[in-house]
Structure 1
């Protein structure tokens, strides 16, 4: 009986350590997907944004979309700034050197947002917004915590 109790205690401890580790080291970065094909470069050439699509769930599933930005002035580092369910064809536009507009809507929902690159991110479900690493480095928005209350 003591051995079983020790094993259960060790398993619970390992699970707690995993949760703590994940909370402090979470990376909001997606790379597996199909590229949209249109790369949109910021007016000053400091950034390039690319839309990716990722199918999930088979025939009854859907499509996730994420936007990665390449930071040309920081050794070509690629970071994810946007993750959501695809509502339609996602369009990107730059409004200034660091303000990226992501348009993603249809008649059932609107996940469009404008993000200050390097300072803000969007995660539709908000999972990234609850992690220490993201809270420390970014302002994080989700469909429930919308920027200026614009999301539906």
Structure 2
């Protein structure tokens, strides 16, 4: 990420789109550990669109709070699109909102990284009123903090792209 200002611009654009459409949003965050919700909370009028968030870094929280089947985590790993979808959908049962976003990934070594899923791989899944609107995978380069901050910006930019196209 080039600057903190660029991050703020992305967050503010996403906040503007949410406000324009009268939408609320909630986040289930694993790899980003609440950073996305925290950054969104800094936008003006966040109380009008940000419903809340859950940090589910540990796989046990994914199963206990968000109803992710342990067998799914065992089969696909906690850092997978399947589990990211499951935390998004599970979040909808815990926090009322129009949009539920799940984020998992590998910002640093020590997870399920492999040649096909290197460190820097991040997953984002979102539903709006229960219908999938985003299912994205991206590989970022850099250190842990850089990958997390780029994921925050990417999340905001994806929301603008998806919701900005809706009338």
* TM-score, scaled to structure 2: 0.27
Which of structures 1 and 2 has the larger relative contact order (alpha carbons within 8 angstroms, sep 6+)? 2
* TM-score, scaled to structure 1: 0.29
Structure having the higher strand fraction is 1
Structure with the greater alpha carbon radius of gyration: 1
Structure having the higher helix fraction is 2
